Amino acid sequence: MQDNQPLLTFPCTFPIKVMGVQSAGFEAEMVNIARKHVPSLEDAAVVSRPSKTGKYIALTLTIQAESQAQLDAVYREFSAHKDVRMTL
């Protein structure tokens, strides 16, 4: 049986995880990318966690998603960044 219901109902709060190479500007670059698509993103909605070795950093950006197209655009831009290793 096929269910054509959307997985998400918009608008909704949605956490995006971005993992990448730790550098001085990585977090700021990811926040800037997110704010292109979600101008209302607040600093408090961004949580960072370094890896054990400090080589990588994981960011969780909790956004107010307005559409699937918006989420797709954010993921595409994060994934295209040279220092990003994974997005979830």
Domains of the chain: 12-87 (3.30.70.260)
Cis bond upstream, residue 15 (ω within 30): no
Each residue of 25-81: pLDDT tens digit?
Answer: 999 999 999 999 999 999 999 999 999 999 999 999 999 999 999 999 999 999 999
**b/e burial code for range 48-64 (CB count within 10 A of at least 16 → b):** eeeeeeeebbbbebebe
- Whole-number pLDDT of residue 7: 82
